[in-house]
Chain A
Amino acid sequence: MSIGSVPLRYRISVDRDQCMLCERCIDSCPYGVFRKEGEQIHVNSRVCVACHRCISMCPRDAISLVERPVDYRSHPIWTPQVREAIYNQARTGKIILSGMGNAQDYPVIFDRLLLDACQVTNPSIDPLREPMELRTYLGKKPSHLDFKTVDGDTVLQTILSPNLMLETPIMIGHMSYGAISLNAQQSLARAVKECGTFMGTGEGGLHGSLYPFQDHMIVQVASGRFGVDINYLERGAAIEIKIGQGAKPGIGGHLPGEKVCADVSCTRMIPEGSDAISPAPHHDIYSIEDLKQLVRSLKEATEWKKPVFVKIAAVHNSAAIAAGIARSSADAVVIDGFRGGTGAAPRVFRDHVGIPIEAAVASVDAKLRSQGIRNEVSIIASGGIRESADVAKVIALGADAVYIGTAALVAMGCRVCGTCYKGLCPWGIATQRPDLFARLDPDYASVNVANLIHAWTLELSELMGAAGINSIESLRGNRDRLRGYLLDENIMKVLDIKTVGA
């Protein structure tokens, strides 16, 4: 017996008085919501994903969208989402796929943290009138410096490891060509170059058209090794080994074959149309010493000229894992919190595995300090950074810099519909369909992304100035400038912060 269909997720309606039958909605929607019959636009709301492309294209504001127009009988445990997941799995017997980041209603620690500002006893610093330094170096730092005096001149004896220099502690995380379109990658690349920062290639190789931006690209080596050859490694400003991802800790990547067009296939070095499935572990890393070998192999291959980062998902034991990574010759550890986005992840992982970035960064920073090896690695925080205040807070908790992902996509138009895995992104971002990615013009999108980074950088400067700090290194790990607002005592202990009023 059929279990029947589930109620509509969204209802689209068209105001017939307003509609002028321009059919832009029909052109806009790759999911096929709209069709014209006679002198009317008809809709099939069932296929709508709430991407808002039609709404943003309608010249008359004639389209409206309602979420969950049909109520279920309310129940605090058996929510509509839970019920629908069961119907879905009862029908298919499969793992449910999802996109974007964690969609469960967990408390957001960032929203329970408050920043400090100066009053009277110390003056705030006005970034419009005084210098404000956000320049950040990522990579290994020596624990101390040795000098020698030669003929009265001071000569530095210590040789510094290569570091990446960022003009702002905001980078764009790894979103591969394949997961997102080439136009999207080009937009991001232009923006990071403009802003003096970096972006990740993701595990998708480096397309030839991005070579002009290679000095701002961090090339990724993940478990599938897609797109990796010596040319790729040498072009990157830094190399990142991806062990795990916040949206799906413990499992590999999955790029559906529909997204593997000819160009993606060439860049990834895989057959056209084939699913690109990265294994859960790296098949040459079964322990920390294996990671060390890979780190050193990559350094050896690139003549020790490039920093090597290691990215892990924020999990319960992140602190100890990061301490191991710090000893592996790696130059930075990237921690991806459980709110990190993704093109495609099993829903059960996206929503239930991992820990928040705030707690992970705090514990990693504390662990590295307690072992006296904080200088050995930089900490890059990612996964759920939504605004400049989050950047300030996570740096105060101990991060050197952040990766943003979803926020950069939103700056290019993404409406967080969470349907990236279908490859039909109407905004031209998470798609390889030529007519769709043509909608994203890098001339404009790159400006939007650069604007976002610039705006956050300005806000960060203002927040620092208000706190009487004129250099980002004095914010880093400065947890005294944070207070917890209605956070429980255990979390505050992990974050090593006091409560408001204390």
Chain B
Amino acid sequence: MCGIIGVIDRSRQRMDGTGIRSALSRMDERGSGEGAGYAAYGAFPDYKEYYALHVFFDNPHETKPLVEDELSKWGTVEHQEAVPTFEQANIRKLHIPWRFFFKPEIQLMPRSITPADDIVTHLVMKINSSIPGALVYSSGKDLAVFKASGWPEEVADFYRIQDYKGYLWLGHNRYPTNTPGWWGGAHPFNLLHWSVVHNGEITSYGTNRRYIESYGYRCSMFTDTEVVAYLFDLLIRRHGLSIETAVKALAPPFWDEIDRMPGREREIMRAIRLTYGPALMNGPFAIVVANHDSMVGFTDRIKLRPLVSGESGTRLYISSEEAAIRTMDPGVGDITMPRAGEPIIGRAQ
């Protein structure tokens, strides 16, 4: 089931976490109190230029030196700190969240058009697959993910997200079936600039995972959502597709519809389906994906999960429930329900 919400302020006006906390809590019916999370873009204005690597340590004494060692091979850590947390009655602090502000040395990744990103991607994959007890759960610049096992309001208070400001927020209220209780299994999932919240189950996961792994990504979270982040990274950052085209690849129109399209559009759609067939995501889902400049929401090809959007001034909201949007912004208007596979895109100026 799960409840999701995203908000973007197109003029990059930052809002604190109070609003998204109450919106997400409004969807407790869609969760089970075993996982919730938030992502905030624009969270670290003082360290904007650094990759904010957030790591869950089971035991920092044991594994932090290993992570630091990996990081030192590829760049320098400008600043590090324990992520401030505040005890909550119902949250067992299973992991110690830590953040590193990291600067990669780009000359170590020659022949790459995005060397810094490639270094960080490599580090994330390396740490998550080879250092047990350390999990990088957020790795982009100027953004933070906050997640844990608990109800949305508890997780929000645990991290005090009202102390953070962002111009783009995502929230996820989890009803886990795959990995209950595990913090790593809570959403949002993040890789570099991409964060994903997802309601649903991807029936094509086995195909998508094998496809993405052939490009060097390694799926280590035991859940289907992480492939969405990797697919966006591959299609948009590495293959240079537009967001619209990427969504068309992940949730394409049916052949019947493509066959009726006018000439050039038909050729483009056919090429997308042929090329990106293994990236097609099947099964019921509603997803909101964000990067620094945009937020996009879309559903599966036959819309088996709900998704609505609303507009309010410079803000765009996308959520599972209209009620959640209204909780956050009672003045919201233009509530619309996108058609299956149709993306709703909000771009920041």
Contacts and interface: CB of A to CB of B under 8 A. Distances in A.
Interface of A: 118, 121-123, 125, 130-131, 133, 135, 137, 141-147, 153-156, 158, 160, 163, 369-370, 372, 374-375, 396, 467-471, 473-481
B147 to A, nearest CB: 21
B302 A470 contact: yes
B280 interface: yes
A145 B272 contact: yes
A496 to B, nearest CB: 8
Contacts of B277: 141, 473, 476
Residue in A125, A130, A154, A478 whose Cβ sees the most chain B Cβ within 10 Å: A478
Contact of A477 (B254, B278, B282): B278
Contact of A469 (B203, B210, B256, B268): B203
8 tightest Cβ-Cβ pairs between the two chains A and B: A480-B206, A474-B204, A473-B277, A474-B282, A478-B206, A468-B203, A122-B201, A144-B239
B275 interface: yes
A145 B207 contact: no
B88 interface: no
A125 B303 CA distance: 12
19 contacts: A123-B284, A133-B255, A141-B274, A142-B274, A144-B238, A145-B241, A147-B241, A147-B268, A155-B264, A156-B264, A156-B271, A468-B203, A468-B284, A470-B302, A471-B280, A471-B282, A473-B278, A474-B207, A478-B207
Given A123-B284, A372-B214, A468-B283, A145 B201 contact: no
B207 A475 contact: yes
A116 to B, nearest CB: 9
B103 interface: no
Interface residues of B, number: 43
B31 to A, nearest CB: 14
B267 interface: yes
B140 interface: no
Contacts of A144: 238-240, 275
B200 interface: yes
A142 B239 CA distance: 12
A378 B239 CA distance: 22
Contacts of B200: 122
Nearest to A163: B274
B210 A369 contact: yes
B255 A135 contact: yes
Residue in A121, A142, A146 whose Cβ sees the most chain B Cβ within 10 Å: A121
Interface in B64-84: none
A372 B215 contact: yes
Nearest to A131: B254
A375 B278 CA distance: 9
Given A131-B256, A369-B213, A467-B203, A473 B271 contact: no
Interface in B279-318: 280-284, 301-302, 304
B242 to A, nearest CB: 7
A374 B271 CA distance: 16
Contacts of A481: 203, 206
A118 B280 CA distance: 18
B226 to A, nearest CB: 14
Contact of A470 (B242, B271, B278, B282): B282
